[in-house]
Chain A
């Protein structure tokens, strides 16, 4: 029995990040009383993220002050089922958010769209390369929603962010200087691309010289004064170099607080409760619907909030965790291959090349931004011929300039000792003369990588922790190696290069590690689709098993793209909200037949 049962609300939203606040904005304007429950605190760009106090590498980048409190809740991890999973005792590989704005506060702001073929991955590969092409042990699936359907929503989110870039495909017309591989855009980016520093300029020149197609990384670090469709005012990025892992006190990085929350917080249909952690979603007696959610409020009381509609916006991993502890859907069983909740967990496959320049090149790495750089998409998705390659998927290759924060940015050439006099000299000599070229690759789902509940460890509320079982599939190891070799070719062709070295996180023989930061692009576990035996939600983001539960975030991705997830997942969010508003609310029911 809860300590308290509150009056019913139309919609309860779990989580106050990009997806949750956007759902609240759109549904409140549709006349729905929305209650957002956020486990973290209130905070605001104007009062919480101002320089110079915000520019504290130790506090924010390394002690993770804006991020999830791992002391009270974490997950357990193992590479495979024969191991015992152990708690992720400190944040490392990924940095989930907590507090108003979620991870949208400390993101980089690289804003991408999926390729049209990405969304129909199985059909596309089978029709181009034959039915036998996709390796048998990969759960490659179509998304059940097409690029054409998502395009208006992808476009709208770019306008919410004031995205800066140059269209490579405007209404079907290909334009050099943009991403010539992208799907057709209905409109140009709302703002012009970012200025490019020397290192990414040299990368772009070398790539173009090789017949590749470099373009400025699409960015939610805004490049001029801008008002978004909700009326939010954004300002030009200062290239301050305290971007990812930090909040932006300059109102220049699009985030859910300034872009969405400020425009909805006074609305009569909107309410947000902080320090309110949802324990579980409650089901009706027949199990067909959810009745609301139970949460622990800021006074430590257990509160039941009844609602007609439940929106799950707690971040990919924690949406899956909530489903498992609430008994929503059917949990995936890797022994039998049945069940769907926790199935198709995937990640991101990273590799890279470190390039060291001669003294003439002075990079000033501290003049950076989270989405500053030059990129090629020639080896992403199916933009290149896979027929002889023996893998599916790909990745983009980018030369970025995020920051020169001196604890984290200490590039040294291969062979430098890890500490001591020689190390110290190498750090000094190379700090201003280095470039990283990153390979940001896709991640395929397999039957062996999945999420379920841990049998031993609990969070501070006594709930079992989420358990992650993951290692890089062989397909992705091959893909990553192939694209890394292409990045090496570009490095070799760059001017002023003294030496370079490459590395592949998914190299043969090295297991995925939970320690070094890779990306906060955890995907899958509650995937979208048209077949209830391989997806948790239908193509509208509605749970097959509980029709008044709608699911948001990267947990929907059947397999992970070679791109950063927020553009695609916000496209899906607006698509789901569109169907909620235009169809479901007037006539609540399953929007697809199972």
Chain B
């Protein structure tokens, strides 16, 4: 696997405008900053950051990689998901109709590793390209209009998009959703859920900032969508 760079050094090395920004690159395990990724190589991590940030770019709220999504994906690929623990893997693997669902013959960690390699080979300038160019690559991938050799394009896109989305919105204990970026953005209060006396208070914004499973207090308590807390 060559030299082991720290994950902070790897992602800070990004040059593309959208992925490198005024916001710091964050993840829940700040202590991991000096550690290498568990699964990803530095090149894979950089590629994924560019890809995830095309799917969830920065606006008033962080981009995917700023919210720790690359760390999330790294941990997922190293764990039971990546190892295919949630999939029936008995061969053979003939191809079927879309209605018959996912039929990839590789465990997700291998599928995604090979998928990234094929994409990097086909799209050498991806990491440094602008948002428009990266979006058009991902659109082709998502529409199955992309030759990846033996690998199916749309299932690869679906897997990467699912992971990115999960990383942005899952509880921060999984390494993404840093600072409750995703939860702050929509106004989801998190894991401590007891609404018996609130559910029939109609049209009243819920005033509590998000709290995750490990009780980390929420960010700045900002109420999303320009809502102002009223009397509650």
Contact A71 B86 (CB under 8 A): yes
Interface size on A, residues (CB 8 A): 73
A72: chain B residues at CB < 8 Å are 88
Task: Report the Cα distance A514→B97, complex, angstroms.
Answer: 10
Contact B88 A87 (CB under 8 A): yes
A263: chain B residues at CB < 8 Å are none
Contact A239 B88 (CB under 8 A): no
Task: Report the Cα distance A418→B54, complex, angstroms.
Answer: 12
Contacts A92-B101, A515-B102 hold; do A406 and B90 have CB atoms under 8 A apart?
A: no
Task: Report the Cα distance A437→B198, complex, angstroms.
Answer: 22
The residues in B between 47 and 72 inclusive whose CB is less than 8 angstroms from any CB of A are: 54-57, 59, 61
Decide yes or no whether A70 CB sits under 8 A from chain B: yes
Task: Report the Cα distance A53→B88, complex, angstroms.
Answer: 27
Contact A195 B199 (CB under 8 A): yes
Task: Report the Cα distance A361→B212, complex, angstroms.
Answer: 26
A405: chain B residues at CB < 8 Å are 188
Task: Report the Cα distance A464→B170, complex, angstroms.
Answer: 37
Decide yes or no whether A128 CB sits under 8 A from chain B: no
Contact A513 B195 (CB under 8 A): no
A153: chain B residues at CB < 8 Å are none
A593: chain B residues at CB < 8 Å are none
A333: chain B residues at CB < 8 Å are none
Interface of B is mostly: loop
Q: How many A-B residue pairs have CB under 8 A?
A: 198
Contact A240 B88 (CB under 8 A): no
Task: Report the Cα distance A115→B213, complex, angstroms.
Answer: 43
Contact A514 B88 (CB under 8 A): no
Stretch at the interface among A24-32, A54-62, A182-190, A271-279: A54-62
Stretch at the interface among B2-10, B112-120, B202-210: B202-210
Q: How far is the CB of B104 from chain A (nearest CB, A)?
A: 8
A89: chain B residues at CB < 8 Å are 87-89, 101-103
Contact A428 B185 (CB under 8 A): yes
B203: chain A residues at CB < 8 Å are 198, 360-362
Instruction: Bits for B86-112, please: 1 = Cβ < 8 Å to A, else 0.
Output: 111110101011111111000000000
Tell me which of A62, A196, A236, A424 contacts B57 (CB under 8 A): A424
Contact A197 B202 (CB under 8 A): yes
Decide yes or no whether A407 CB sits under 8 A from chain B: yes
Contact B196 A239 (CB under 8 A): yes
Q: How far is the CB of B193 from chain A (nearest CB, A)?
A: 4
Contact B89 A71 (CB under 8 A): yes
Stretch at the interface among B20-28, B121-129, B144-152, B161-169: B161-169
Decide yes or no whether B171 CB sits under 8 A from chain A: yes
B202: chain A residues at CB < 8 Å are 197-198, 201, 362
Contacts A52-B191, A366-B189, A367-B199 hold; do A432 and B227 have CB atoms under 8 A apart?
A: yes
Q: How far is the CB of B12 from chain A (nearest CB, A)?
A: 23
**Which residue of chain B is the closest to A91 with respect to CB atoms?**
B86
Task: Report the Cα distance A88→B87, complex, angstroms.
Answer: 9
B59: chain A residues at CB < 8 Å are 421, 424-425
Provide a sorted-by-A list of 7 A–B residue pairs whose CB atoms are within 8 angstroms: A63-B86, A77-B100, A86-B103, A89-B88, A195-B200, A407-B165, A432-B225
User: Hey, which bits of chain B sit against chain A, CB under 8 A?
Assistant: 54-57, 59, 61, 80-81, 84-90, 92, 94, 96-103, 135, 138, 142, 161, 165-166, 169-171, 173-174, 182-183, 185-196, 198-200, 202-206, 211-213, 215, 224-225, 227
A366-B188, A406-B169, A431-B186 given. 15 additional CB < 8 A pairs? Answer: A55-B193, A58-B170, A70-B88, A77-B101, A87-B88, A89-B103, A238-B194, A238-B196, A239-B196, A362-B205, A367-B206, A404-B186, A424-B56, A424-B61, A425-B59
Kindly list the 7 A-B residue pairs having the minimum CB-CB distance in the complex, ordered from nearest: A52-B191, A55-B191, A431-B186, A367-B195, A240-B193, A198-B202, A195-B200
